[in-house]
């Protein structure tokens, strides 16, 4: 043993304080973006069955949720709307008095310091559940851009601080940037869902937003989960078209993509810890199979270590509570 040569890595792990001193990745409340679902009803705080702890709120009860968000120190929310009526062209998505526009105005009036992000898509508002204009069961790219621009401008007019297009139409960043600029919103940034895979992890969200496609699937516009190089092409075009943030969605099964994008692009990077990832952890925790707090904090820290600057997550309130302990 006297001549055995090896490194003593454990020297830096001897106590909690020493481990904290040399910790390379830190999760902070400022990193978290909390998704909120708003509905056009009265007196509603309705739990989403497949997402325990996540609720739909009517506007008259939205402040209950926002009070808690602010108290926990979370600085940013993303708003998803569930309209009472849908049609073929998603007209409630760009209606001046649409549910999301009303929610944005209410949040900005009551919580002016909160950064409000508007999800810019059509699937929650169309009767067919797809993210664009449909003809003969085909999602048409360019006609969809016109509606997405109208949606983004109406959200900016309502007071949204950031526009977050999630529809995966080609040219959506260029079209929305031009539309925002022409409407006088040159200072409103675009958080592009640049790399959005056609994933089975979105299932519970479709319950929350009532946005399941009524025919087919979204594989003609969202990315093939098997593709890595395609992520670079999507990110490159969005950067060229004027994106201010890039997003990878989902997160857990795509950590390699998060690292790839972080290494090659210099915009703030967002990881979306999606509904299916949330629900799996919640279900296992409710059955006593895992330690929820430790699993969640390890998972979110892993996303930051992979390269995410910000994390959009349904665990935001839980994580903020644990970080503040």
Q: Does residue 249 carry a catalytic annotation?
A: yes
- List the domain range (segments joined by +) for residue 176: 25-324
- Both tokens of residue 37? 């679902």
d(CA 99, CA 172): 22
pLDDT in tens, 263-299: 999 999 999 999 999 999 999 999 999 999 999 999 9
Range among 116-130, 132-146, 170-184 rated most confident: 170-184
Q: How confident is the model at residue 131 (pLDDT cuts 50, 70, 90)?
A: confident
Question: Is residue 10, in this structure, part of any structural domain at all?
Answer: no
Residue 54 counted as domain residue? yes
* Residue positions forming the annotated binding site: 121, 123, 131, 206, 218, 234, 275, 314
What pLDDT score does 138 carry?
86
Count how many domains the chain has: 1
* C-alpha to C-alpha distances, 133 to 79, 143, 167, 175, nearest whole angstrom: 22, 6, 11, 15
**Residue 6 placed within a domain:** no
Task: Please indicate whether residue 132 or residue 233 has the higher confidence score (pLDDT).
Answer: 233
Residue 41: the pLDDT is 92
What mean pLDDT is predicted for residues 181-193? 98
The count of residues in the chain is: 325
**Residue 157, in any domain of the structure:** yes
Q: CA nearest 76: which of 188, 162, 196, 151?
A: 162
Could you list the residues known to form a binding site for Zn(2+), using ranges: 121, 123, 131
208 inside domain? yes
Rg value, the chain, Cα: 20
* Residue 20 belongs to a domain: no
Report the distance separating Cα 27 and Cα 219, nearest Å: 33
Q: What is the pLDDT of residue 211?
A: 73
Helix, strand, or coil (residue 75)? coil
pLDDT of residue 205: 81
Within-domain flag for 12: no
pLDDT of 174: 97
Choice among 196, 262, 282, 304 that is catalytic: 196
Q: What one-character DSSP code corresponds to residue 300?
A: H
Which tokens in the block code for residue 121?
Answer: 């898509």
Beta-bridged to residue 139, according to DSSP, are 134
Q: Is residue 196 annotated as part of the catalytic site, yes or no?
A: yes
List of E strands, 49-190: 51-58, 76-82, 115-120, 133-135, 138-140, 162-165
Domain assignment of residue 13, yes or no: no
Instruction: Give me the residue label for tokens 């969200």.
Output: 205
pTM: 0.95
Angle between helices 141-158 and 172-182 (to 10 degrees): 40
Question: What CATH number is attached to the domain comprising 78?
Answer: 3.20.20.70
Residue in 86, 249, 262, 317 annotated catalytic: 249
In terms of pLDDT, which residue wins out, 71 or 218?
71
- The predicted structure's pLDDT at residue 245: 98
């Amino acid at each position: 043993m006297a001549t055995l040569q090896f490194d003593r890595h454990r020297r830096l792990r001897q106590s909690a304080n020493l481990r904290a001193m040399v910790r390379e990745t830190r999760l902070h409340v400022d990193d978290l973006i909390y998704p909120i679902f708003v509905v056009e009803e009265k007196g509603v705080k309705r739990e989403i069955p497949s997402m325990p702890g996540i609720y739909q709120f009517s506007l008259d009860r939205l402040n209950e949720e926002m009070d808690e968000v602010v108290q926990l120190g979370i600085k940013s929310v993303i708003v998803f709307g569930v309209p009472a009526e849908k049609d073929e062209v998603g007209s409630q998505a760009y209606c001046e008095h649409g549910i999301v526009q009303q929610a944005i105005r209410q949040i900005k009036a009551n919580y002016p310091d909160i950064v409000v992000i508007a999800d810019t898509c059509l699937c929650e508002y169309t009767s067919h559940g797809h993210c664009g204009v449909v003809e003969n069961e085909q999602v048409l790219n360019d006609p969809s851009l016109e509606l997405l621009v109208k949606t983004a401008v109406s959200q900016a007019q309502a007071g949204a601080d950031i526009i977050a297009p999630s529809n995966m139409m080609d040219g959506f960043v260029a079209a929305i940037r031009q539309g925002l600029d022409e409407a006088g919103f040159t200072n409103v940034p675009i958080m592009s869902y640049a790399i959005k895979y056609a994933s089975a992890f979105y299932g519970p969200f479709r319950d929350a937003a009532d946005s399941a496609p009524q025919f087919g699937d979204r594989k003609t516009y969202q990315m093939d989960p098997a593709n890595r190089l395609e992520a670079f092409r999507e990110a490159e075009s969005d950067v060229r078209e004027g994106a201010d943030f890039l997003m990878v969605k989902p997160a857990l099964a795509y950590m390699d993509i998060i690292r790839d994008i972080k290494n090659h692009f210099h915009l703030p990077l967002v990881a979306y810890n999606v509904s299916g990832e949330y629900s799996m952890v919640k279900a296992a925790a409710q059955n006593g199979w895992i330690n929820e707090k430790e699993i969640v904090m390890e998972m979110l820290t892993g996303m930051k270590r992979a390269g995410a600057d910000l994390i959009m997550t349904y665990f935001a309130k839980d994580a903020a509570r644990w970080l503040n302990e």
